[in-house]
Amino acid sequence: MNKEPSLFEEDYIPTGCAGFTHIESVTANEVFDVLAGRANKDKNGRDAGYWFNQIIVNSNLAELPITVVAEVVHNAAAHNDGSHVQMRGYLESILDEEGLV
């Protein structure tokens, strides 16, 4: 049983001049800017799809319908107000616990 190769760019290690890469650290707020659409990519070139995938894979949000999760994550990232403070805190904890930021 052969596994098909991944089509996602993030699944492959980018190679530089000598095969070394430098990944700069990003903050949760920078990730939220990407997820909310205020920025196209972070300083490492990762887009909203990458960060959304990282949140889904590293949390229990995959148990919910994907459209619901997408709306919840987008709204929490886009609005830094009292109505989204718990979800925003949850997303920050996922990013921190997994060492993603």
Integer angstrom CA distances of residue 38 from 11, 22, 63: 25, 24, 27
Tens of pLDDT along the chain (101 residues) come to: 455 666 665 555 555 555 556 788 999 999 999 999 999 999 999 999 999 999 999 999 989 999 999 999 999 999 888 888 899 999 999 999 878 87
What tokens does 101 get? Answer: 């930021």
Partnered with residue 41 across adjacent β-strands are 47
CB 58 within 8 A of CB 91: no
For the entire predicted model, the pTM comes to 0.74
DSSP of 20-50: --------HHHHHHHHHTSSSB-TTS-BHHH
